[in-house]
Structure 1
Amino acid sequence: MRSSQSTPEITPRARTLTLDAAYTWLHARENGTVEVRRPKHIGSFNATVFSKDERFSGTLTVRYNGRQTDVAFTNPSFIPVRVSLREYVLVNLNAEYKLRPNISLFARVENLINEQYEEVFSFATPGRAGYGGVRVRF
């Protein structure tokens, strides 16, 4: 004889917040020498919020890049000199709103706090920048 038991139906709730973080500790050496452009510490944090119907989402991203060394050719003899690049933090913000399943509006701001930083010695990096548009998926 079979027993018939009713199992309560589980309805998934819409997610409203997603958090993630990452950290890297790097010990990059080549023949005992510290490699250039490889920071010892790198970290990131993301927080994404969703509306209950999941039509809207917004994400805040914070990225940390620790102090690192680079090579500069500032000497007139072109002998490479080791230089230190300072640590920096980048903050980005983006949002999306789905008008229909295949059409959405989006906007993002990169380098929100207009951090002045170098990834490579004496090369300019972007300042604050904003983007927006319509995304259509086929």
Structure 2
Amino acid sequence: MKTSKDSLVTKLAFLSVSFMLTSAYAVQGALPQLKAALHVTQTQAEYLATMPAFAVMIFVVLSPLLQASLKISDKQMIMAGVTLVGVMGVVPFFNIQNYWVILASRLLLGAGFGLYNSQAIALISVWYQEPTRAQML
């Protein structure tokens, strides 16, 4: 099925990137349980919630530089980001009790979000003209 860039499905696909970014904060409600289960301080537990945001900020900036230095396409960069999110998102599922492994997985989860978020923003700027571009961004 070929879709037009102006179709509702295509626009929703671009906008779903923003929804995915908010999923990194889903652990905030479980911070007391994480603190108890991992035997860490409150500050360390809060790092689990905020670490993806730091990585997103860094990798949104680094993504175009990585893409240029590795000479890969937008699609490959998006695929790398989505793969990183998929793999790192399930690491804590495997009953890992090591705080540092979980923290690293959260950092890499944010890196994956940053890789494909910057590409989505760039593609919106390329595909759409005003006023649709402004609405999408």
Calculate the TM-score normalised by the size of structure 2: 0.25
Choose between structure 1 and 2 for higher RCO, CA contacts under 8 A separated by at least 6 residues.
Answer: 2
Calculate the TM-score normalised by the size of structure 1: 0.25
Flag the structure with larger Rg: 1
- Would you tell me which structure has more strand in proportion to its own residues? 1
- Would you tell me which structure has more helix in proportion to its own residues? 2
